[in-house]
Amino acid sequence: MEFKAQNLSGSMVHELAVLKVKENGSFDVIGEIDDISAGDEGSITLELTPGAYQLACLIIPGEAGSTVDHYAKGMHADFLVE
């Protein structure tokens, strides 16, 4: 499965992490597109097994000039692979 990310932010760096959600609610990072600068884009191709996943930006305060936790600000979305 190919994932494409485009950073439409005017100034903030973002990333796209693909997370496999475990039964206990924790997750494993399956792959990611790191440090996508404002206006840039990237892609990654991954083989995903059936299960629950999330797409997320995992930038935390102090990383890439950020002052906020991007995940905590709601930068994540669930999806299911059947």
b/e per residue 31-61 (b: at least 16 CB within 10 A): ebbeebeeeeebebeeeeeeeebebbbbbee
pTM: 0.92
Position 67 scores a pLDDT of: 94
Position 36 scores a pLDDT of: 96
C-alpha to C-alpha distance for 70 and 13, rounded to whole angstroms: 10
Q: Are 71 and 54 spatial neighbours (Cβ–Cβ below 8 Å)?
A: no
C-alpha to C-alpha distance for 58 and 19, rounded to whole angstroms: 10
Tens-of-pLDDT digits for all 82 residues of the chain? 999 999 999 899 999 999 999 999 999 999 999 999 999 999 999 999 999 999 999 999 999 999 999 999 999 999 999 9
